[in-house]
Amino acid sequence: MDYFKLFNNFSRKKILVIGDLVLDRYIWGKVNRISPEAPVPVVEVTHENFLLGGAANVAHNIVSLEGQVTVVGIAGKDSAGGVLKSILDEKGIGSCIFDDRRPTIVKTRVIAHNQQVVRFDREDKRKVAGRAFEALIDCIKSAVRDHDAVIISDYKKGIVSPELVAEVVKASRAKNRFIAVDPKAGHFHCYKNVSLITPNIMEASHGAGIEIKDEKSLIKAGRALLKKLPCKSALITRGEDGMSLFDKGRVTHIPTVARQIYDVTGAGDTVIAAFTLAHVSGATMQQAAVIANHAAGIVVGEVGTAVTTRAKIMESIRSASGGF
């Protein structure tokens, strides 16, 4: 496989990302004592920063891999929404963002000595409906024709519904576009007739209604998902056990390449971004899964929501294969 040629194609491809937009806020500090008021650590704050989360992080992964991207979603008319939009602009991410009279989703993580002390969320998870839903669909229908693939990033915060997925599938199939979904447990009834789903082991087990405890039950669950939805392919991410791709009757197990795992935050975003961009750039499903596996192996080795680059993935593949 000519990885150089494949990776060079990334910059020519444009991906449409639809889903729940999240602003990740990180408060960093150190702990030297326990509070006299309660048995909790006192974090002395040293600094804080903001990163893109949810569907916005999927988009960030794509531009980090030098692909082109547009993200569609909901954000509030608040300071967090302003920060989110400014970061999207700074990263060169196109956006189609609507206000639904709800606050921008913010996940705040307090980190001390590279360990997460606590996380607190601000969110409104009501289903998006009415004018906001209509605006989303109009934007999606218009954008599909100018993009090579569609990613639905479901964080179960109100954007993704059976109605939205049905509209995305209808518009995408008319243009023969690849549709990938990063799912959430409890929402599998939404994902009918898409090209690919990328559940983790827990989500796959829940979606298939089968407890996954060994290779036999894994294969049974993967095949059940394809039949149940139905969808063309499924990539089940299995943490330290790697990934398993179910495609066209075949099952391909891909061992992990992660050297060390510090933080899995956002790893699913990296997987679906790298897989989709690689596939529409010319990789087979199996080759795209290998590339996504290397991408995930890199980001889990960093603390916090992280992205990777084409150069890092190439180096990871080169190291694993002994050169090419």
pLDDT in tens, 50-84: 999 999 999 999 999 999 999 999 999 999 999 99
CA-closest candidate to residue 139, choices 180, 192, 81, 98? 98
For the segment 158-184, the average pLDDT, to the nearest whole number, is 96
For the segment 101-124, the average pLDDT, to the nearest whole number, is 94
β 149-153/94-98 pair status: unpaired
Position 152 confidence tier, pLDDT thresholds 50, 70, 90: very high
Point out the catalytic residue in the list 154, 182, 247, 269: 269
d(CA 158, CA 52): 18
Q: How many domains does the chain have?
A: 1
Token code pair at residue 33: 């004592």
Q: Within a domain: residue 105? A: yes
pLDDT score of 319: 86
d(CA 59, CA 61): 5
Q: Within a domain: residue 165? A: yes
Task: Return all residues near 311 (Cβ < 8 A) that are at least 6 apart.
Answer: none
Is the per-residue pLDDT at 304 higher than 70? Answer: no
235 phi/psi in degrees, rounded to 5: -115, 110
pLDDT score of 322: 61
Query: Is the Cβ–Cβ distance between 84 and 76 less than 8 Å?
Result: no
Three-class DSSP category at 250: strand
What is the CATH classification number for the domain harbouring 285? 3.40.1190.20
pLDDT, one tens digit per residue, over 212-263 is: 999 999 999 999 999 999 999 999 999 888 999 999 889 999 998 866 665 5
Start-end of H helices in the chain = 3-9, 55-64, 79-91, 130-144, 162-174, 201-208, 215-228, 267-280, 285-299, 310-321
Q: Within a domain: residue 38? A: no
pLDDT score of 6: 92
CA-closest candidate to residue 15, choices 81, 61, 82, 80? 61
Q: Within a domain: residue 129? A: yes
Q: Which residue range(s) make up the domain with 307? A: 3-33+43-321
Tell me, yes or no, if 269 is annotated catalytic.
yes
pLDDT score of 306: 75
Q: How far apart are the first and last CA of the chain?
A: 9
Higher pLDDT residue, 293 or 4? 293
pLDDT, one tens digit per residue, over 82-105 is: 999 999 999 999 999 998 889 999
Q: Within a domain: residue 289? A: yes
pLDDT score of 302: 73
pLDDT score of 245: 98
Q: Within a domain: residue 147? A: yes
